[in-house]
Structure 1
């Protein structure tokens, strides 16, 4: 079944996660791993409290949800320094987000630790766990031209993933800048965007399904506010954004009813005038 992805649970306590997953039970989960939070000093790791990612993954497993584990090293501009630790920036001779031996070695150390921790607890789908995909890097295509030929070696490293994921579709809104307007996307536009995404063979969507909050100095920049509510179906406090949540629930139920056709069927698309497109699904 093509699952709904939910992003925004990171940094919440266990009881809150359980309550929120009940509201998003029909979907799957997308999880950022923030390198600078887990390794604030080189080779000194922190997986305590709300940073206990293994406990978090076990909690969502108990609810029957799936997970896409986004290990970084760069996660997003909305988080301070994109998730890179400051000590990494200060290493002599390092270049970030391109092929560089120092950078490659540090990335390998951190990602290997995360993968080994998850594997030890049997949290990958092949082991009966909730993690169906693991992703390295984020939105690299937006800036790939700036890195010249070195980018080819960076994205084609040995053991690099053979699947590229586009996870940012069906946006509920957008992040907010200090002094800026509150981001908003109408229920009708959101529902149409999600339906159209599946029409053209999309697999994952809904960034973000659950809003969040930047505490302390974790907000990225420039001038991104502490609120990361995103006008999402579940707001940053975990409350239902009723019309969005309700309409998406109805749409997801329709998609669920077409599970076999969407997953195994053939799609035939015809373009008409005035930007009208009709897709037919065939299942034999």
Structure 2
């Protein structure tokens, strides 16, 4: 079987020096029906390797569960990479960052609030061991030493930016080796002396993450990794977007020059990202540096392959650079033509509050619990109680994570937003014992820094005029259950929170780009496949619909609109619209 090793100055494949030219492609952000297309385009750009994270929370959404089906079929993804002539680098975490919900850590880990994440806390290591027990046999079987594509496996992820518990890193190395991982291990950190020192181990190869200032960053890396090949494990060629911000782009020519500088120095590279894909479902993460800012649904990243998998100007520029250092196939991919453009009318509706019996599981609590305490780790929870008195009064909450729509007897009274530090709202029930509802949305768990693992929902007491409210009914909402709702034909005004649906016909599977002009905020599906969140504030203006989701003949759009819309209609547009690039 082939062997991959770390030499004095080079990576060695069967004893011969090899320069790794890799690109990041997260299988969980791409529809599995499109994996082969994206991998083929990776090879056509001249890459010899593909890299992916593994999101623990996607594979294990509940304790004891481990999924490898559909879009989580990692063995199939790795086999397809090999079939396209690509090696693979795998980064299994347990923490991955990746602008992914909670950095990939399952929400259920922090049901015990005393657990110390990303540390040698035995409770955390025990949970990681259970994860690795299920994952590592998959990775071990796919190693190059067993005829598979996997050349190397990463230990943790940018740990030097978080902690300095070398015992934790050593524990992970021990688990990986005992789990059958015999290919080289490596760590990655930002190209900073302190972070590289804190985040690595003397006997594990260090790599650096950066997007420019190549010569300077390689010098920093060489100080911390005196021998062995230099590698930029994340060559940042774009960036991610937050709701309410601008769409980030980087000049293709400037990025290509930096890539050329990196390869000409003899360093190996992993382009982050080759193809970003989408945060389908509710998988997006968030950042919090004084202000909570959730990440948008698109993970286009201004990458060489667009969110829809089309080659961009950056793809051509990178291909030209790579051709100076490695063989590049003659065949190059061509951009797809415009997608079908047409309107779709919403013709039926189902109010969320009117169907809680079909959508949710209820538990009763004396005081308002967090979402996590109620057993919900992603999405929406409805908190319900009654207000004893009529008339104007002030509702206060310790903290909302992340957005609460407040309704009194089903009538919207306002919104409390974590981003804007809202903690109080005036309400005015017109009768005693009015029903108070707070529909709380987890807009994405923080994926970087000390706030990973924090609970969602209502934090601290909920009070009216200073008196704490008691006697709560808490509904854990299962959004996928909307498929079984009895939708009622409707041409009335669009009011939320409610599901709305409409049908369209096309000739066969085709990529589409769904726009919701005039709609406010919510979640959208096509044929039951969750495209992700939309929000009027942008920057993102369309949601990508993967071609394999669409079928010949009749198709259905379903939208959960949380507030309201100008008219009951959506649009499919000819191409994606990631929004303005300047705020």
Pairwise TM-score range, normalised by the shorter structure:
0.7 to 0.9
Alignment of 1:218-237 (within 5 A): 218-221=283-286, 222-237=293-308
Report how many aligned residue pairs link the two structures: 249
5+ residue gaps in structure 1?
258-284
Which of 9, 19, 25 aligns to 1:8? It is 25
Q: What is the CA deviation profile of residues 153-178 of structure 1, one whole-angstrom value per residue up to 9, with x for unaligned ones?
A: 11233627422333554322100111
Which of 310, 316, 323 aligns to 1:246? It is 316
* Alignment match, 1:131: 150
Structure 2 vs 1, CA of residues 55 and 174 (structure 1 numbering), >3 Å: closer, same or farther? same
* Alignment match, 2:325: 255
SS in structure 2 of the partner of residue 113 of structure 1: helix
Q: Distance in 2 between matches of 1:89 and 1:199?
A: 46
Q: Distance in 2 between matches of 1:164 and 1:110?
A: 24
* Alignment match, 2:274: 209
Do 2:19 and 2:266's aligned partners in 1 also have CA atoms closer than 8 Å?
no
1:138 offset after TM fit, Å?
1.0
* Alignment match, 2:253: 188
Q: Which one has a larger percent helix, Structure 1 or Structure 2?
A: 1
- 5-14 or 54-63, which deviates more: 5-14
1:4 offset after TM fit, Å?
2.2
Q: What is the CA deviation profile of residues 44-102 of structure 1, one whole-angstrom value per residue up to 9, with x for unaligned ones?
A: 11111111111111111111111111111111150001111111111364210122111
CA RMSD of aligned residues (A): 1.9
SS in structure 2 of the partner of residue 132 of structure 1: strand
* Alignment match, 2:206: 164
Q: Does 1:154 align with 2:175?
A: no
5+ residue gaps in structure 2?
1-17, 177-184, 186-203, 209-231, 287-292, 328-583
Q: Distance in 1 between matches of 2:128 and 2:253?
A: 41
- 163-172 or 229-238, which deviates more: 163-172
Q: Distance in 1 between matches of 2:33 and 2:261?
A: 35
Do 1:80 and 1:219's aligned partners in 2 also have CA atoms closer than 8 Å?
yes
**Larger RCO (CA within 8 A; separation ≥ 6):** 1
Q: Distance in 1 between matches of 2:121 and 2:26?
A: 32
Q: Does 1:89 align with 2:110?
A: yes
Q: Distance in 2 between matches of 1:129 and 1:250?
A: 29
* Alignment match, 1:268: none
What TM-score do the two structures reach when normalised by structure 2?
0.41
Do 1:194 and 1:205's aligned partners in 2 also have CA atoms closer than 8 Å?
no
Q: Does 1:49 align with 2:47?
A: no
Q: Distance in 1 between matches of 2:155 and 2:235?
A: 22
* Alignment match, 2:120: 99
Q: Which one has a larger percent strand, Structure 1 or Structure 2?
A: 2
What TM-score do the two structures reach when normalised by structure 1?
0.82
Q: Distance in 2 between matches of 1:43 and 1:163?
A: 32
* Alignment match, 2:520: none
Q: Distance in 1 between matches of 2:75 and 2:270?
A: 24
Higher Cα radius of gyration: 2
Do 2:24 and 2:270's aligned partners in 1 also have CA atoms closer than 8 Å?
no
* Alignment match, 2:11: none
SS in structure 1 of the partner of residue 50 of structure 2: strand
Q: Distance in 1 between matches of 2:99 and 2:314?
A: 23
1:152 offset after TM fit, Å?
2.1
SS in structure 1 of the partner of residue 89 of structure 2: strand
* Alignment match, 1:24: 42
